[in-house]
Amino acid sequence: MPPTMGNGKICYMEIPSFDIERSAEFYGTVFGWKTRRRGDGSTAFDDSVGEVSGTWVIGRAPAVVPGFMIYVMVDSVAATLDAAIANGGELVQPIGADAPEITARFRDPAGNVIGEIGTGRPRILLCGHMDTIPGLLPVKVENDRVYGRGAVDAKSSLASMIVACLQAIGTEEASFHATLVGVVEEETSTKGIQQVISDHQPYDLAVFGEPSGSRNVTIGYKGHLRARLSCSTRGGHSASPWISRNSFDEAVKLWTKLESSFFTNGEVSKFNALTGCVTKMAAGNDTNTIPATAQLDLDIRIPPGLTIETVEQRVTRICIDQEMQSGGDLVVSASFENRCPAFLGKNDSTSVRAFRMAIRQLTGQQTTLIKKTGTSDMNLLAEEYNIPMVVYGPGNSALDHTDNEHVSIPEYLESIRITMIAIRKMVRLYNNGSPEVATPLQHIG
Phi, psi for residue 382 in degrees, rounded to 5: -65, -20
Parallel/antiparallel/unpaired status of strands 43-46 and 34-37: antiparallel
Question: Residue 123 pairs with which residues in a beta bridge?
Answer: 177
Q: Tell me if 154 sits within 8 A of 209, measured CB to CB.
A: yes
b/e per residue 104-119 (b: at least 16 CB within 10 A): bbbebbbbbbbeebbe
Nearest to 218 by CA among 46, 373, 83: 373
- Provide long-range contacts, Cβ within 8 A and 24+ apart, for 83-86: 83/29, 83/30, 84/26, 84/30, 84/108
Residues identified as active-site: 131, 186
For residue 440, what are the contacts with CB-CB under 8 A and spacing of at least 6? 366
Of all residues in the chain, what percent are helix, strand and coil, respectively (each to 5)? 30, 25, 45
- R_g (Cα) of the chain, nearest Å: 26
Nearest to 88 by CA among 27, 154, 15, 46: 27
